[in-house]
């Protein structure tokens, strides 16, 4: 494990209780382990978002700039979203 540096943090009561419950359950040995696991999960989420932006969003944005004819007018997009939503609402009203 890399060298550790001590930090003191304040948590809202609900989060502090959650950390304490995880330690009491035996899932983690210390509150520090809980916090480290949470930070690792946050790092993984951020890395996944960066990867998605780099590998999926940016190439599409460049492709759209290169060929603007591929674009769908925003009004059409919203019309389709509204129609999809209305269809789902109608199905839920019928109990489907």
Give the domain ranges of the chain: 13-70
| CA count, 13 A, side-chain hemisphere, 63 | 8
Q: Is the pTM of this model over 0.75?
A: no
Condensed to tens digits (0 to 9), the pLDDT of residues 82-94 reads 999 999 998 887 7
- How many residues are listed for the chain in this entry? 96
Round to whole Å and give the CA distance between 42 and 39.
5
Condensed to tens digits (0 to 9), the pLDDT of residues 8-38 reads 999 999 999 999 999 999 999 999 999 999 9
Condensed to tens digits (0 to 9), the pLDDT of residues 25-84 reads 999 999 999 999 999 999 999 999 999 999 999 999 999 999 999 889 999 999 999 999
Residue 15: Cβ-neighbour burial (10 angstroms; 0-12, 13-18, 19+): middle
């Amino acid at each position: 494990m890399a060298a550790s540096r001590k930090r003191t943090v304040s948590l809202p009561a609900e989060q502090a209780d959650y950390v304490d419950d995880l330690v009491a359950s035996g899932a983690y040995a210390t509150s520090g382990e809980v916090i480290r696991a949470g930070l690792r999960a946050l790092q993984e989420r951020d890395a996944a978002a960066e990867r998605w932006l780099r590998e999926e969003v940016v190439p599409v944005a460049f492709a759209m700039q290169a060929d603007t004819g591929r674009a769908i007018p925003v009004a059409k997009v919203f019309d389709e979203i509204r129609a999809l939503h209305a269809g789902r609402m109608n199905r839920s009203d019928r109990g489907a």
